Structure 1
Amino acid sequence: MTTAKTHKLPVRAAISLTKSKSWRHYPIGLSLILIIPLCLLLGFGFVYPVGRLLGQSFFAPDFGLDNYRRLLETPLYLRVLGRTVIVALIVMAASLALGYPVALAMARLRRDLAGVVMACVLLPLWTSALVRSYAWIVILQRRGLVNDVLLGLGVISEPLKLIYTEGAVILAMTHVLVPFMILPIFGAIRAIPTELVQAARNLGAGQFTVFARILLPLSLPGIFAGCLMTFILALGFYVTPALVGGPSSLLMATLIGQQTTETLDWGFAGALSTVLLCVTLVIVVCFRKALSNNRGISNVA
């Protein structure tokens, strides 16, 4: 009897919500008018371009799977795809290693000091990625800051090749994407009640035990969100790899850009985009399933 009443409570709550004035505060026509601009922007700015590009992968030049067959039969394109996934994973791991201590320090600092650190984290987001990429070119070029310092200290006898390498791409992409890792983790750590940490310390837990048993498990939703955003952004990053990377560090986004701007092969560019989209979805689903058994991850959208 109690179970039946319990199941009826959500239904009664939904019925009372539909009968309340707040539910019908706006007429249906006005609500549709309010969402039409957003739907049009989403349709013309995202759905239509992506749908047309994916359609051209099957219909250019003729209907068929020639573009996908070309992609699978050419080892170069498969190597580029594999390199893109590996670079994205490395950037994600580097951003997590650099971002988690910063987020933890921000959560433990006083409000005024935390605001200063937050401003330092947000400052790169206010600067164009193009400007930051050119700054790395100035720093890593043969007569750049790093080589000049090493030459001045006598560590090296001739300039090192630091720019236009895969390491330069990973370094520059990590610098650009690390704020997207810090902010979700900071929000997750700030949401942890301080009473839990105080109770653990009163019971004799040390710093490492508090971190391993309380802070890290409860901050997993923020870690998952930051890793997901950083990984997806790294997979489709274009500006930084195009400027800092060389032919040996070609990524999928740069390859797609070459197909659309230089060779004008829109059909093959659509096939590359479709494969990259499918790989992204598969990796995200696998990543979600792998972490879904951890506490708190199952509640992350």
Structure 2
Amino acid sequence: MNDVVLRSGGMRRLGRQEWMLAPVIMLYGALFLLPIVIVFRMATEKGFSSFETVLSSPVFLRVVDNTLTISLTTTCLTVFLGYILAALLWKTEGSKRVVVLGFVLLPFWTSVLIKNFAWTFLLQDNGVINTALRSLGIIDGSLPLLHNRFAVIVGMVHYSLPYAVFPIYTSMLAIDTRLERAARSLGASLFSTFWHVTLPLTRPGVYAASLLIFIVASSFYVTPVILGGPRQMMIANLVDYYTHTLVDFSAGAALSVIILAAAIVLIAIYQFLPKETQHG
């Protein structure tokens, strides 16, 4: 009987704590929803004509193709490199792990502008990479490494890499290392152990990292401007074009609503992906 009273009292205390947090939750909810409501209102102030203007524009299809291609390529490369770094973090111990973690966190310590301008110095015609290749006699002229899709993807992968490492690394920490030893003791090769044991167990981390990176990559604005060119315009750059160049805020808001709807669809698809592995 006393246990029941204590549990009910604990529930009442928990309820009071939730009510104390209610103003903060409402404030953050209002700050999140209010901009969305304003953008949606601007997008529909002319009815749905702004959506028709955006969707019927030939530039829109070209920009969507750029955004999907660059974002998917960035996601695949970042998840691949992030998996390697996460495995390195997982297998190392002591001071070596701290060093690897420092290199992973390094992109967080500098702003995106500084990273992009650093890549311009590395990739330009007289930059470090072309100069080194000419000094080694590999090339005679200069490779076109800047102001193209390659440069945009390089800059975006560099920025997004930590977002891939930590979800995958978190899923690796939950793996029982005895499973790998058991697989090796039963005659499985290193690749078979990875393919049939490690990879399935880290699949939720890969899913989470892929979704996060794709959403972040598809909304890039600064990197395509600095490292790319007009042909590498992405969806965020098109929003800026509508609002600042054409001064058509309704069309820019309509395009923003379309981006938000696409992100919601991706998150909904992610919710249906299996959160547990085949060994869960």
1:58 and 2:44 correspond: yes
2:131 corresponds to 1:131: no
**Equivalent pair of 1:95/1:174 in contact (CA under 8 Å):** yes
Q: Which residue of 2 aligns with 1:9?
A: none
Between the aligned partners of 1:35 and 1:122, the Cα distance in structure 2 is: 34
1:42-53 alignment, distance < 5 Å: 42-44=29-31, 46-53=32-39
**Contact (CA 8 Å) 1:71, 1:78: kept in 2 or not?**
no
Q: Which residue of 1 aligns with 2:156?
A: 173
Identical-pair percentage:
32
Q: How far apart are the structure 1 equivalents of 2:158 and 2:6?
A: 49
Is the counterpart of residue 274 in structure 1 residue 261 in structure 2? Answer: no
Distance 1:295-1:17 versus aligned 2 partners, 3 A rule: farther
Partners of 1:154 and 1:112 in 2: CA distance:
39
**Any gaps of 5 or more consecutive residues in structure 1?**
1-14
What is the distance in 1 between the residues matched to 2:5 and 2:221? 47
Matches within 5 A, 1:216-295: 216-286=199-269, 289=272, 291-292=273-274
Provide the aligned length of Structure 1 versus Structure 2: 277
Question: Which of 1, 8, 11 lines up with 1:23 in the alignment?
Answer: 11
For residues 25 and 282 of structure 1, the distance between their equivalents in structure 2, rounded to whole angstroms, comes to 38
1:67–1:112 distance in 2 versus 1, CA, 3 Å: same
Which consecutive residues of structure 2, in runs of 5 or more, have no partner in the other structure? none
**Which digits, 9 at most, give the CA deviation of each residue in 1:196-220, with x for residues without a partner?**
1122222222211211111000000
Q: Deviations over 1:27-54 (max 9, x none)?
A: 63x643434134323423x311122112
State the TM-score, normalized to the length of structure 1: 0.84
**How far is 1:181 from its partner?**
0.5
Q: Does 1:201 pair with 2:184?
A: yes
Q: How far apart in 2 are the matches of 1:249 and 1:272?
A: 18
- Deviating above 6 A after TM superposition, structure 1's stretches of 4 or more consecutive aligned residues are none
Contact 1:56 1:270 in 2 (8 A): yes
Change (3 A) 1:41 1:204: same
